[in-house]
Amino acid sequence: MTFQNENESKNVLDCWILMRLSWLIDFSEKTLRLYNAKDVALEIEKFVSDISTWFIRRSRDRVWVNSEDVEDKKSFYNTLNTVLVNLSIIMSPFTPFISEIIYTHLTKEESVHLTSWPLTKYLPKVNTELFSDMDLVRGIVEVGQRVRKEIKIKVRQPLSSITILLPKMNDFKLKQFYSGYERLLKDELNVKKVIFTHSTGEKIDVRYDTVLTKELVIEGKLREFIRDIQSKRKELGIKPYEEISLVIPKTFLIYKDYLKKKVLARKIEIGLDLQVSL
pLDDT value of position 77:
93
pLDDT value of position 68:
76
Helices (H), the chain: 12-33, 37-50, 57-58, 60-63, 70-91, 96-107, 128-150, 178-189, 214-235, 256-263
What is the reported pTM?
A: 0.87
pLDDT value of position 2:
56
pLDDT value of position 122:
86
Helix 178-189 vs helix 128-150: crossing angle, to nearest 10: 20
Give Cα 180 distance to the centre of its chain.
Answer: 12
Would you give the DSSP letter of residue 168? T
pLDDT value of position 273:
86
Q: What count of Cα atoms within 13 Å lies in the side-chain half-sphere of residue 244?
A: 24
Cα–Cα distance, 256 to 258 (Å, whole number): 6
Please report, in tens digits, the pLDDT of each residue of the chain (278 residues total): 555 555 567 899 999 999 999 999 999 999 999 999 999 999 999 999 999 999 999 998 888 777 778 888 999 999 999 999 999 999 999 999 999 999 999 999 999 999 999 999 889 999 999 999 999 999 999 999 999 999 999 999 999 999 999 998 888 999 999 999 999 999 999 999 999 999 888 899 999 999 999 889 988 998 999 999 989 888 889 888 888 899 888 888 888 888 888 888 888 888 888 888 88
What amino acid occupies position 114? L
Q: Residue 128 contacts by C-beta under 8 Å, 6 or more apart in sequence?
A: none
Beta bridge partners of 164: 196, 206
What amino acid occupies position 272? L
Q: Are 96 and 115 in contact (CB under 8 A)?
A: no
Beta bridge partners of 165: 197, 205
Q: Is 119 helix (H, G, I), strand (E, B) or coil?
A: coil
Give Cα 212 distance to the centre of its chain.
Answer: 27
Cis peptide before 5 (omega within 30 of 0): yes
Cα–Cα distance, 171 to 116 (Å, whole number): 40
Residue 166 has φ and ψ, to the nearest 5°, of -100, 140
pLDDT value of position 250:
87
**CA distances from residue 49 to 16, 54, 132 in whole angstroms, order as listed:** 14, 8, 17
pLDDT value of position 140:
96
